[in-house]
Amino acid sequence: MEPNIKNIAVLTSGGDAPGMNAAIRAVVRTGIYHGINMFGVMQGYQGLITDNIKPMDARSVSNILHLGGTILKTARCLEFKTDEGQQIAYNNLKKNGIDGLVVIGGDGTFTGAKRFSETFGVKVIGIPGTIDNDLVGSDFTLGYDTAINTVIEAIDKIRDTADAHDRLFFIEVMGRDSGCIALRSSIASGAEAVLLPEKETSVNELINKLALGAATKKSSSIVIVAEGHKQGGAYDIAKKVKETFDHYDTKVTILGHLQRGGSPSSFDRILGSRLGFAAVNALIAGQTEQMVGLKGNEIKLTSIREALTAHSFKLEPDLMEMTEVLSI
């Protein structure tokens, strides 16, 4: 296929996610394979404004598959949200002859890309890179699998000390608007309870469940709390529970940004490679304002508009039911 696009730039924006480097590698090498000049934008949209745009060759992305974070760095850029900032970014793209852009990030990244493309006609393809798994159009977003594995590894270690000391641990995981990490990690770690932004769970309901476990001689309990739960964070909920239920010695662990780091899992390395490969092929085929995502086991295109406007979605009903059934 003869490319109808000559110069492509790739950037990572917003929060980093394991597997971003695999996607960068695939984007750069797929473009070079098709005879396209490839560029990397340092520090996300900030790099478009400061003209921190560098040519990349196949060796620029050697030995990065196993690395967490992003070799292109990332930053949040308020200036890019302004008309003036986007004009500067567009001028820099034109100066470098760039006629296609691959953006890797979450909803904030895609919101900026959509507006940029609509205003200036820049051809843009998005790769969903966020551990929250909260973009419609992809069953798994880049970094989600690794984040879950990181959470499970931490909980397994906490479980050891919880059992040894007859303790109740509240473990807070990332997920301001999405309970995806909390839900799956609760099942994989055998947690006694999970509190999700998508489900109303009162403190009294939680106390009753913990009391039932204590009555059936559970030696410890793990409660996973998504940071966006309506009752508050893990510290707030633990304090409320402690006031009326003192069967266990109560402890709180906030996993925080630990969940974003580390070497990506094999799943995220392969997913990043597939999405990067597909993103370049989509640009070559003349697509724009589309997100590449994994649906079933196939890579599909979803409009960035749909990925953003259809942001609310339901957690898997069987997994929700399992958290109740398997924790007795």
CA-CA-CA-CA dihedral for 108, 113, 116, 121, to nearest 10: -160
What residues form DSSP beta bridges with 193?
Answer: 223
Q: Looking at 132, 134, 145, 268, which residue is catalytic?
A: 132
Tell me, yes or no, if 132 is annotated catalytic.
Answer: yes
Strands (E) in 15-166, as ranges, are 37-41, 53-56, 100-105, 124-128
DSSP state of 59: G
First to last CA, the chain: 58
Backbone angles phi, psi at 12, to 5 degrees: -120, 140
State how far the Cα of 19 lies from the Cα of 26, in Å rounded to an integer.
Answer: 11
Single out the residue of 142, 159, 4 nearest to residue 69, CA to CA: 142
State how far the Cα of 50 lies from the Cα of 307, in Å rounded to an integer.
Answer: 29
Contact 141, 196 (CB under 8 A): no
Annotated catalytic sites, by residue?
132
